[in-house]
A and B are shown apart, each in its own frame.
Chain A
Amino acid sequence: ETGVTQTPRHLVMGMTNKKSLKCEQHLGHNAMYWYKQSAKKPLELMFVYSLEERVENNSVPSRFSPECPNSSHLFLHLHTLQPEDSALYLCASSQFSSGANVLTFGAGSRLTVL
């Protein structure tokens, strides 16, 4: 257990469904992240919440919608996804400082879109 908990671990959804991924960190960190990991591709940073400010990757489709109600919780809302969105979605947290940014990852949510 890393201190970052992701639920569900596995999710299968149809293209018309709406679902959410949840992430909770118990480390007192001030930044949280969503990464997407697809086969044979680099990890893709999707969204960052740091010091209550959201920084997003402009290439992320609008069918992915993040929500960060407080510094410990992060959600990724999913709607009308495409089969190519099937991937491992990783949540991470860090104590952001100017020196270095070391990430603690959760175990991931494996998403399959049919």
Chain B
Amino acid sequence: SQQGEEDPQALSIQEGENATMNCSYKTSINNLQWYRQNSGRGLVHLILIRSNEREKHSGRLRVTLDTSKKSSSLLITASRAADTASYFCATGDTGFQKLVFGTGTRLLVSP
């Protein structure tokens, strides 16, 4: 299985601090994506990084990918209370591109 596993399962920080979440996976991938889910809602795509990329930025988000270690990290800088949500990594292989999600990291940002 190429299921992603996020670490930590839960993270609690203060506004203004940075939040780092990690994802590990098991098999070769074509790309890795991060999604956010507010409580009881659908997931929202945040960023995609391809297997030949090492780092990608989008606003306050920074994603790294280390294919030799089969791991990725998501950094949210200068966090806000509105960043409170669950964050999931999803891995996609070549071919049909079935996305496999992990169990997520629950982030709580306190004012």
Q: When the two chains form their complex, are residues A42 and B101 in contact, meaning their CB atoms are under 8 A apart?
A: yes
| CA gap between A45 and B97 in the complex, in Å | 12
Q: Is B26 an interface residue (CB 8 A)?
A: no
Q: When the two chains form their complex, are residues B3 and A103 in contact, meaning their CB atoms are under 8 A apart?
A: no
Q: How many residues of A contact B (CB 8 A)?
A: 27
Q: Is A74 an interface residue (CB 8 A)?
A: no
| CA gap between A98 and B96 in the complex, in Å | 8
Q: Is B98 an interface residue (CB 8 A)?
A: yes
**Cβ-closest chain A residue relative to B101:** A43
Of the listed stretches B14-22, B42-50, B56-64, B77-85, name the one at the interface; the rest are far from the partner chain.
Answer: B42-50
Q: When the two chains form their complex, are residues B88 and A100 in contact, meaning their CB atoms are under 8 A apart?
A: no
| CA gap between A114 and B45 in the complex, in Å | 33
Interface residues of A in 63-114 (CB under 8 A from B): 88, 90, 92, 96, 98, 100-108, 110
| CA gap between A43 and B103 in the complex, in Å | 7
CB A53 to nearest CB in B, in angstroms, measures 10
Q: Is A59 an interface residue (CB 8 A)?
A: no
| CA gap between A92 and B40 in the complex, in Å | 15
- Contacts between the two chains (Cβ within 8 Å), count: 60
Q: When the two chains form their complex, are residues B43 and A103 in contact, meaning their CB atoms are under 8 A apart?
A: yes
The one of A101, A104, A107, A108 that contacts B99, using a Cβ cutoff of 8 Å:
A101
| CA gap between A90 and B37 in the complex, in Å | 12
In the complex with contacts A43-B88, A108-B40, A102-B45 CB distance below 8 A: yes
Residues of A within 8 A of B96 (CB): 50, 55
| CA gap between A101 and B100 in the complex, in Å | 11
Residues of A within 8 A of B98 (CB): 45, 48, 55, 101
Kindly list 9 other residue pairs between chains A and B, CB separation below 8 angstroms, not including A45-B98, A105-B42.
Answer: A42-B102, A45-B99, A92-B42, A98-B94, A100-B50, A101-B92, A102-B33, A105-B43, A105-B44
